[in-house]
Amino acid sequence: MEHEIQFVVNGESRSLTVFSQQTLLEVLREDLGLTSPKHGCSTGECGACSVLLNGEVVNSCMVLAVEADGAEILTVEGLATEDELHPLQKSFIDHHGVQCGYCASGMLISAKALLNRTSRPHEEEIREALVGNLCRCGAYADIIKSIQVASRARR
Amino acid sequence: MISRKPHVIGKPFPLIEAQRKLTGVTCYAGDEKISPDMLHARILFSERPRARFRLRNLDAARNHPGVVALLTGRDVNGRMGHTVADRELLAVDEVIYAGQPLAVIAAESPEIAAKALALIQVVYEDLPATLSIEQSLSRGAPAVHPDFMSYRGAEKLNSEPERNIAHALTFVRGDVDQGFAEADVVLERTYTAAHLQHAPMETHGGVAQRQPDGSVTMWMHVQAPFLQRAIIAGALGMSPEKIRIITGCVGGSFGGKVFVSVEALLAAIALHTNGRPVRMLLTREEEFKGVFMAPAMRAHIKMGAKQDGRITAIEAIYDWDVGASVDAAVFHLQAVTLAGTGPYAIPNVSVRTNAVYTNLLPAAPLRGLGVAQVHWAIEQHVAELAEILNMTALNLRQWNLVKGGDHLFPNFVMHASGLENCGALAVDAIGWRPETPRPAQAEADDASDRPGVGRGMALGWSPIILSDQCGSSVTIRFDSERLCDVVVDGVDIGQGLYAFITQIISFELNIPVEWITVEPTDTANYAPDWEASYHNLLWSMGHALLRATGEMKKQILSCVAKEWEEPISNLDIVDGEVVSYASRRKLPLLSLLEEGMGAETSPPSFSVTATYRPPNVDGSIDSQLQSFASTAYAAEVQVDPETGALSILQLAAAVDVGHALNPESVRAQIKGGIIQSVSFTLLEEMVFENGVPVSTDFMKYPIATTADMPLQLHPIVVEVPQRSGPYGARDLSHHVQVGAAPAIANAIYRAVGVRIRDLPITAQRIYDALQEKRARESGAG
């Protein structure tokens, strides 16, 4: 079955026709060309497809596109402004918070949500916030450091 | 060498690709949009480890609306392999492992492809299978490959196919019988390590399209595009120039995207879709059950020592369960044989390694090449032996340690290494001074003020082998349009390759980083027989880069020298300008490229290609052995004696990298290696039920999350220069893993007095061992 939906993604209003069974991940990637959220597991275990849905982190592989009707969505494509990277992006670059990079979008999104809630998180809080984002390269230590430094820079 | 820009080599350098990765621009598998009419491929995998089979209802699948092509082993029948062609592209009549491809389909959408595949009925008639090393080696076991000797390349391996030994290597020195006769103590133990998964976050996939000339272009994210070109072409009976692989960044490989698994099927199906591009992206379940696993190990170690601590003999047998294919594991076997004694100079040695076929998923080496598993055995064994001899394990290790100048193999003399230093630094980092001999009762530990806390350490050495695939070729072009454009044959798998290339070129040519662009790797840039490096890239590509930049500099300077009528030796490049130390003249390289040397000459452009080729193979065990890389791990753990629950309080890894060209990047790689090692050691095990993988998602095959990180990580960079390496550096990807597991096991022993000899170390295993120990003690008491 087809549905007409409308949502705001990275500040831009979009109207689309989606099928009932289509996930938000699929619509973002295939219909809107926003490929920063990645396929990792399709079962909500790895966090590679994380996006912000009305300010909350969701695994976009576990959300149906129709559920996002009327929502506000942020992907990594919407993090930087035209002329400036987001402080998290800068910090991840400076502190080696990325290796192969496949998990990076999910990490940034989870970090963004955390910083929205808590402006200066402790290491323990960062670990907890990232527990649903798998990084096979094991870059967690530098990812945590990147987030810590970014949170300090924001103040 | 004159240090022209000391701030570049050995100092922090940004990761060139990081910004693209962090803004979502970098392409990974599934991101390429080649055209709107792209098709989607899916594979039908075998559900049985060994069976005769028939496919029914193929016509229904083929005629399903939206299906464009369907291939079975009756349509495309090829054997696949690099050293030995022991895999089939698609099974014909019989399957020899669960996860073996039976059919591949291309359809308008992934859903249609899945629906059509579900229409196919697979009728199995089960045959006897062998599912473990023990079973495969036992008398009367079914042969996994009864026709092995007919396979292309079979004669190159030292095999006994009727006994399921796919390949075996031995190394013998001295006389072990005499060595054991001289020993005061002889200790024999068996150690095992489970099958693991590479489990990259990016599953296998890519896009393929047939071109009008009949060739196939593939956009893939693989670690070894040149090797894959050769294997895919061989499997499809095409010449290598008909397969073109374009590779961007890889979303994790760890050895799992070196050899071909499903990629050949993607190429095969793309030949049957009338030029429409086909995308394949495996699901996580398929990634677990249909690609590769890492070999499991069973090690039997017998070691003899004198009362004074001299190890007199070692007899080690390492059996590796390589599943139904040895092809990817041939190189692995050489590495584990060379590493087989651990980092000890023992006069009498017998090391045998066997690659054993089973009816399980094919194995491909995982980061560490099995050397980490070898140390799992050796470094626990040494610790136990030390206890029997009533000396510290550290002393026993130092007493027997390999030293520079030791003539270890027929063609190999040990070089200076950071072994001893690594050990001292790792132990020191966790605040441990292991000076006094440990009593057998670990409760009386130096950490006795903290019950259940213990510390342990392990050393490691890891051979760096310049295998056949360790060549590298680099082309640097310099012109006004693209400035410094670089074509390479290596691939960024997260190790920071683009930064490495940029750093060396910027340093050697003394030009700004911003001028340099590294192109995506494309097999079309190189001759069809070129098999470029997929590991030891720092070595191979480093040397190629040094040659290329040296030649480029010569070309540029001689062009200017001629015009200035000065000897080239007067000239240099400094901060992007050609300068003469004699005449003090200056010419910015940008003006040279844009305007040339004068009105009468056209602007020059420069192009240099340089190649590094590995030394020739002579078939001996130490053929192409270049060096040993050293590591040490020290661990502090806490064990709950009631439940067996384990926490790692501190983990230190000291890694000899020769020379850290980009120190922060090196530390990042070490930290990643530590966390990955914790994951391999405590969490990971590929579980099969009747030969069928049941570890098919991250719930059933957990990998480390932030919750599993040790509380404190201590990455330690040790620098004992590798004289023959670029700038004295050596590769570090593999040896970072070596020593973590036994250090943790040794710490557990000191915490609660039990030895875990099977990987992974689970709370259940610790609990069981504690129960057994209590039963033994109460029985004895």
Supply the angle between the helices B393-400 and B371-388 in degrees, to the nearest 10: 110
Residue B2's pLDDT band, with cuts at 50, 70 and 90, is very low
Cβ pair A100:B252 closer than 8 A: yes
Residue of chain B whose alpha carbon sits nearest to that of A37: B24
Among B503, B494, B474, B495, which Cα is nearest to B486's? B474
pLDDT above 60 for B439: no
List helix spans (H) across B519-608: 537-564, 589-595
Residue of chain A whose alpha carbon sits nearest to that of B663: A96
Chain B, residues 334-393, CB within 8 A of chain A, namely: none
CATH T-level assignment (fold) for domain A87-153: DNA polymerase; domain 1 (1.10.150)
DSSP for A12-31, written as a single string: EEEEEEEETT-BHHHIIIII
pLDDT (average), residues B254-264: 95
Cβ pair A136:B30 closer than 8 A: no
A37: closest CA of chain B, how far (Å): 8
β-bridge pairing B278-281 and B205-210: antiparallel
The neighbouring-strand residues paired with B192 are B298, B758
The domains spanning B18-24+470-518+526-612 and B39-127+200-253+257-289 adopt the same CATH topology: no
Which overall architecture, per CATH, does domain B365-463+627-780 show? 2-Layer Sandwich (3.30)
Which overall architecture, per CATH, does domain B18-24+470-518+526-612 show? 2-Layer Sandwich (3.30)
- What per-residue confidence (pLDDT) applies to B228? 95
The domains spanning A2-78 and A87-153 adopt the same CATH topology: no
Which residues in chain A have their CB less than 8 angstroms from residue B34's CB? none
pLDDT (average), residues B623-627: 87
Break chain A into its structural domains and give their ranges.
2-78, 87-153
- What per-residue confidence (pLDDT) applies to B781? 59
Residue B434's pLDDT band, with cuts at 50, 70 and 90, is low
Q: Residue A122 carries which side chain, given as an amino acid letter?
A: H
Cβ pair A100:B200 closer than 8 A: yes
Percentage of chain B modeled with pLDDT above 90: 82
| Residue of B494, B671, B705 lying closest to A134 (CB–CB) | B705
Question: What would the pLDDT profile of B32-48 be if each residue is shown by its tens digit?
Answer: 877 789 999 999 999 99
- What per-residue confidence (pLDDT) applies to A155? 53
Which residues in chain A have their CB less than 8 angstroms from residue B30's CB? 29, 35, 38-39
Judged by a CB distance cut-off of 8 A, whether residue A153 touches chain B is no
Judged by a CB distance cut-off of 8 A, whether residue A139 touches chain B is yes
ipTM above 0.90 for this complex: yes
Judged by a CB distance cut-off of 8 A, whether residue B200 touches chain A is yes
pLDDT above 90 for B732: no
Question: What would the pLDDT profile of B454-503 be if each residue is shown by its tens digit?
Answer: 999 999 999 998 877 778 999 999 999 999 999 999 999 988 899 999 99
- What per-residue confidence (pLDDT) applies to B444? 38
- Residue in the block written with tokens 């000291």: B654
Question: What would the pLDDT profile of B502-526 be if each residue is shown by its tens digit?
Answer: 999 999 999 999 999 999 999 999 8
- What per-residue confidence (pLDDT) applies to B178? 98
Cβ pair B202:A141 closer than 8 A: no
Cβ pair A102:B17 closer than 8 A: no
Question: What would the pLDDT profile of B270-318 be if each residue is shown by its tens digit?
Answer: 999 999 999 999 999 999 999 999 999 999 999 999 999 999 999 999 9
Q: Which CATH class is domain B39-127+200-253+257-289?
A: alpha beta
- Residue in the block written with tokens 């955390």: A114
Chain A interface disruption, residue of B706, B711, B716, most A CBs within 10 A: B706
Chain A, residues 13-42, CB within 8 A of chain B, namely: 29, 33-36, 38-42
pLDDT above 80 for A12: yes
CB burial string B622-642: b at 16+ within 10 A, e below: bbbbbbbbbbbbbbbbbbbbe
pLDDT above 70 for B575: yes
The neighbouring-strand residues paired with B297 are B193, B320
- What per-residue confidence (pLDDT) applies to A154? 64
Break chain B into its structural domains and give their ranges.
18-24+470-518+526-612, 39-127+200-253+257-289, 365-463+627-780
Residue of chain B whose alpha carbon sits nearest to that of A22: B111
Higher pLDDT pick, A143 / B599: A143
A74: closest CA of chain B, how far (Å): 13
- What per-residue confidence (pLDDT) applies to B601? 72
Which residues in chain A have their CB less than 8 angstroms from residue B19's CB? 85, 89, 93
Which overall architecture, per CATH, does domain A2-78 show? Roll (3.10)
Cβ pair B24:A34 closer than 8 A: yes
CA A141, CA B117: separation in Å to the nearest integer? 43
Residue B11's pLDDT band, with cuts at 50, 70 and 90, is confident
